[in-house]
Chains A and B, each alone.
Chain A
Amino acid sequence: MSSRYLQLDPQNRSSDNTYAFRKGYAQLDFRIPEGPHVLDPHSVRLVGDIRFFKADTSPPTELAGGDTLSLSSKIGVYSIMQALIWKSGRTATTISHEKNYNRWCSSYLAITGGMENSLGHLSESALTLPNFEACKESVVCKPEKSSFCVPLICGLLNAGMSLPLTPNTLGSLDLSIMLESDSQALQVLPADFENDPDVADYLSAYYQLENVKLVCSVITPPPDELSRLMSQKQGAMTYQSIHSFYDTANSNNIQLSMNLGLSKVKSLFINMISSDKLNNIGADSFATLPPTNLDGTQGSVQKITFLRGGTIFPKLFPRNTNFKETTNTSVYDPVLFRDYIQAVSKYDHNYHNLGGLTNANHGWLSKVSAGGVNRGVPYQFVQNGGVFFGIGLNYDNYLNGTGVDLKEQTFGVSIECDLTSSNAQSLFMFVNAESTILYNESGVQLIS
């Protein structure tokens, strides 16, 4: 067995090796070539430099210290990735499609990494830095560019299984990274607690990637194993895929009901944000907030019920949160907090996450306020990477961990909350389910 490193340029490489959504580059395409080898899934990294501009003038207006443009301090460079699409090059079959990838990252990174990760190694690889000011000044508001090298965290690669790239299996692997729009990826921070972000100077602000590469390593198996692989007529691989769903709600009794079309669902979580904050450069589009009212107050969750096929499942009772019993409580419901983490990683094995009293509380507002700090901290200024909230559910403890069938039965969730004003909320639901990739002589198929 031997391994070899690959360094791949985008297939849609630009003439000056720069890529900006604003300049018409909406995606990056890479092809990992087929050959007598398998892909080491842990080795895949997107590498490059990123630079930010204040305005799309000629020449572009550069940023300097004191400007107020920033990007999500929690997910850093992941902000620019809207979707990851993996295809088998042999048949062009999509084998993994992670939509709203950056929204997923804003929950996933906060749950799986704590301050020491976000302030430490992720600051080098993904340009995170869990405070809005330090992140703004050291990553964005400067004329210099910053280097990054990020793993493409996704179900297909996280499974840890080597992906065969021989002509009779998957063939080459095509990866498309859909780039995020500037107004979603970037945000202008308020100057203080009382004034809205001054976006006038940043309406054409944009990010630009340079020297982008995909690096990975491929492994050539020992001769006997390779021979067996090359002569395979058919094969199958099972992995934990991540599926994204989107819905909106504008009620104090949020009802979500949808057919997921997935037969082995292991867990899911929902992160929310009010719809006016999406694609809005005056807002942090990657904040994970509870329902919020027009005046900025939190529409705190009072009761939550998960359903399957119209019956309560898996918990056989609705969850009344601590807020329902004690409306002046300062902290989020501990069971909701735990279940949110549990939807991603086992709670008792989760040593580090960004959640805590400083960012999982009722003390912040979803907008600046004339009352200033006495009314609450604007959500952009919340410490440790921002507000830590989500609704999670882990099915893995049920039915011996084989997953729950939500193909034939509809999934539902009912959330009673204090959303008392007309303020539409966007709900991003991410479902972790078992999927199987089948390949044979006639093609490649994905079964979920």
Chain B
Amino acid sequence: MMNDMKPDASDTAKAENNSSKQPSILNIKSMETNTLMRVESDILSALTFSQSECVFEIAPKGFLHPGSSVMISLDAGSTDALKDAFPYTNVGIHSLVRRAQLRTTAGRVINDTDDWNDLQAVRSMFVENSICKEREQYLSGRQTDFDLYYDADSDVKASFYGLGNGMELNRATGDVAVMGREGLSTRPVIRNKAEPEFQLKISDLFNYCKAGNQLPLAFLPDERIQIVLYWSEEAKRLALPSSSDASSPASFQIKKADCKFIADYTYYSGEIMEDMRQEFSGGMEFEYTDYLLSKQSVNQARAVNNVRNLGGNGMVVDSVLWSMNVDSFDDRSLLGRFTGEAPTALGGSGNLDRNVMTTNLFVNSEFLYPQDVKNPARQFHNLKEAEGMVPFVSRTLYSGQGDEAMSNANSTQYEGRGQSTDLAGKFFHQGFRTSGLSTRVDNRGVDLHMSAPMEDRTFTQRAWLEVKRYVVISDGHLECYYV
């Protein structure tokens, strides 16, 4: 039943505040049902392909639907150790794309997001757990869903919870070869030996498409749209189970033969197209957003009273997403390097379980918040405000508080990895909603203020500014500008 189907992100994404010059036909949300609409799919091979990048070029016909996707699979590898590799549980196969670019052959760049896989570590938190469990683990390898782990001697008492992917916890102990490994395993179909084919939706890759905007290919007869994906390094593309630790870091090759672009084109009757041409003969323009990356290395000392300029000068910034991770984290963990690290453990009478991180944003000569934000639950709320959706992760995963309910015991491990170690406090991503500023950022830019006692490591602090841009299409050409 249609009513029972959960909507896909590209179906439910709220339409951007489009300019009045944007024809409704270009936005799948605001368009009336049209029985004269026709949908056709092409499966395109890459124009160029290597283990560092690939380029797809799309023919100028109809409108490109934002549900179009890139198909990817990885070489199964020659050793058993590599065959058991699986996508990182939070970002899934999104770990493969370091940079995603949507451009025209005339050189106009519509969307260009650097460290896109790290950004997806933040944005994947906003995919509902049930969607991850039922759909995303097969489509993109994202597995963030939770189950209560009932105690072995009780039907009602659950001392712990942890990841849940539809598989049963194995509580049998003894010879692993006979009884299998204790705890939870990934679904066999997403292990590398099954050579699963995954999909990356362009609505995830490009914010232009996330807003529900179709690409009017038919209106660009003189230039082509290209999708350029820069792959992440070959090592650490997938996570390894504990039984494959000796093979770390493991390299995986993307299979050229399976790397395809499934282009869904939408067509309308000639009459509608002609009406549209007439109506927008003077050109059409509409808004969308893009992410600008700013990053720096931060060690333990510099994480205290850290102030950094993120840029954004003269731009209209809707939100800021940022987090601290450790790039050197390898594939012997469930999340790899795609984490948002919480401050160090604290605990003790009257304290919080973790030290606090104080955050604020200085923009247009004033602080966004009247006082620095310290409460992690409020930081969680601010992240929700920035993305307009609650993050679907638990308290232990986000702030690291309440970790008594997550365990490293063998019976609760995931692929032999202790969930408390690998997950607790690893989703501490931060967000600020700045769309309420109403004005563009002044020429000083945006300053990020943060201070936290972090572990003695070198972190990479990545911040993405979601900036407003707009596209102008006239005379068969496309131009992009910052608002």
A binds B: yes
> Which positions in A face B, CB cutoff 8 Å?
1-7, 43, 45, 47-49, 51, 62, 65, 114-117, 119-121, 123-125, 127, 129-135, 137-139, 142-149, 211, 215, 217, 219, 348, 351-352, 377, 381-383
Name the B residues within 8 Å of A2 (CB-CB): 436-439
> Which chain A residue shows the least CB distance to B436?
A3
- A–B pairs, 25, beta carbons within 8 Å: A2-B438, A2-B439, A3-B437, A3-B438, A7-B371, A65-B404, A116-B392, A119-B394, A120-B394, A121-B391, A124-B376, A124-B380, A124-B398, A127-B395, A135-B405, A137-B159, A138-B395, A138-B402, A142-B404, A143-B349, A144-B349, A145-B350, A147-B352, A147-B399, A383-B158
Supposing A5-B369, A133-B159, A217-B436 touch, asked if A120 and B392 sit within 8 A by C-beta, the answer is yes
In the complex, A29 Cα to B148 Cα: how many Å?
Answer: 38
B6→A119 contact, CB < 8 A: no
A149→B377 contact, CB < 8 A: yes
Name the A residues within 8 Å of B437 (CB-CB): 2-3
> Which positions in B face A, CB cutoff 8 Å?
3, 6, 128-130, 145-146, 148, 151, 155-161, 347-353, 368-371, 375-378, 380-381, 384-385, 390-396, 398-399, 401-405, 436-439
In the complex, A137 Cα to B347 Cα: how many Å?
Answer: 14
B402→A129 contact, CB < 8 A: yes
In the complex, A217 Cα to B352 Cα: how many Å?
Answer: 27
Supposing A149-B377, A351-B6, A377-B156 touch, asked if A121 and B393 sit within 8 A by C-beta, the answer is yes
> B393: shortest Cβ distance to chain A, in Å?
6
Supposing A116-B128, A121-B380, A219-B436 touch, asked if A146 and B402 sit within 8 A by C-beta, the answer is yes
Supposing A43-B385, A45-B378, A125-B377 touch, asked if A144 and B348 sit within 8 A by C-beta, the answer is yes
**Contact of B396 (CB < 8 Å), options: A47, A49, A138, A217:** A138
**Contact of B348 (CB < 8 Å), options: A47, A130, A143, A146:** A143
> B356: shortest Cβ distance to chain A, in Å?
9
A47→B393 contact, CB < 8 A: no
In the complex, A219 Cα to B436 Cα: how many Å?
Answer: 8
A119→B161 contact, CB < 8 A: yes
B148→A147 contact, CB < 8 A: no
- Knowing that A47-B375, A49-B375, A143-B348 touch, tell me 13 more A-B residue pairs with CB under 8 angstroms: A7-B371, A45-B381, A47-B378, A115-B146, A121-B390, A121-B391, A124-B398, A131-B158, A144-B351, A145-B350, A147-B376, A147-B378, A149-B381
**Contact of A211 (CB < 8 Å), options: B347, B348, B349, B375:** B375
> B6: shortest Cβ distance to chain A, in Å?
7
**Contact of A129 (CB < 8 Å), options: B399, B403, B405:** B405
In the complex, A116 Cα to B147 Cα: how many Å?
Answer: 9
Supposing A142-B404, A215-B378 touch, asked if A119 and B148 sit within 8 A by C-beta, the answer is yes
> Which chain A residue shows the least CB distance to B398?
A124
Chain A CB within 10 A, most for which of B145, B349, B380, B401: B401
Nearest first, the 5 A-B pairs at minimum CB distance are: A3-B436, A149-B377, A138-B402, A138-B405, A116-B129
Name the B residues within 8 Å of A138 (CB-CB): 395-396, 402-405
Name the A residues within 8 Å of B399 (CB-CB): 124, 147
Supposing A5-B370, A129-B405, A145-B352 touch, asked if A124 and B394 sit within 8 A by C-beta, the answer is yes
A123→B352 contact, CB < 8 A: no
Dominant SS at the B interface? Answer: loop
> A77: shortest Cβ distance to chain B, in Å?
9
In the complex, A43 Cα to B371 Cα: how many Å?
Answer: 16
A134→B436 contact, CB < 8 A: no
**Contact of A120 (CB < 8 Å), options: B129, B151, B156, B376:** B129
> Which chain A residue shows the least CB distance to B402?
A138
Name the A residues within 8 Å of B130 (CB-CB): 114, 116, 352
> A157: shortest Cβ distance to chain B, in Å?
14
Name the A residues within 8 Å of B402 (CB-CB): 123, 127, 129, 138-139, 146
B394→A148 contact, CB < 8 A: no
Supposing A129-B405, A144-B348, A351-B6 touch, asked if A124 and B377 sit within 8 A by C-beta, the answer is yes
A348→B375 contact, CB < 8 A: no
A123→B395 contact, CB < 8 A: yes
B145→A116 contact, CB < 8 A: yes
Name the A residues within 8 Å of B438 (CB-CB): 1-3
Name the B residues within 8 Å of A131 (CB-CB): 148, 156-158, 161
In the complex, A383 Cα to B403 Cα: how many Å?
Answer: 21
In the complex, A383 Cα to B146 Cα: how many Å?
Answer: 15
In the complex, A134 Cα to B391 Cα: how many Å?
Answer: 21
> Which chain B residue shows the least CB distance to A208?
B350
Name the B residues within 8 Å of A5 (CB-CB): 368-370
**Contact of B3 (CB < 8 Å), options: A125, A127, A348:** A348
Supposing A45-B381, A62-B349, A147-B401 touch, asked if A116 and B146 sit within 8 A by C-beta, the answer is yes
> Which chain B residue shows the least CB distance to A120?
B392
Name the B residues within 8 Å of A143 (CB-CB): 348-350
A125→B159 contact, CB < 8 A: no
In the complex, A127 Cα to B378 Cα: how many Å?
Answer: 13
Name the B residues within 8 Å of A6 (CB-CB): 370
In the complex, A142 Cα to B403 Cα: how many Å?
Answer: 11
In the complex, A291 Cα to B396 Cα: how many Å?
Answer: 37
In the complex, A147 Cα to B381 Cα: how many Å?
Answer: 12
Name the A residues within 8 Å of B393 (CB-CB): 120-121, 124
In the complex, A139 Cα to B403 Cα: how many Å?
Answer: 9
In the complex, A381 Cα to B150 Cα: how many Å?
Answer: 12
**Contact of A119 (CB < 8 Å), options: B146, B371, B436, B439:** B146
Name the B residues within 8 Å of A219 (CB-CB): 436
B370→A134 contact, CB < 8 A: no
A134→B405 contact, CB < 8 A: yes
> B169: shortest Cβ distance to chain A, in Å?
15
Name the B residues within 8 Å of A62 (CB-CB): 349
A149→B375 contact, CB < 8 A: yes
> Which chain B residue shows the least CB distance to A146?
B401
In the complex, A28 Cα to B43 Cα: how many Å?
Answer: 62
In the complex, A120 Cα to B396 Cα: how many Å?
Answer: 9
Name the B residues within 8 Å of A121 (CB-CB): 380, 384, 390-394
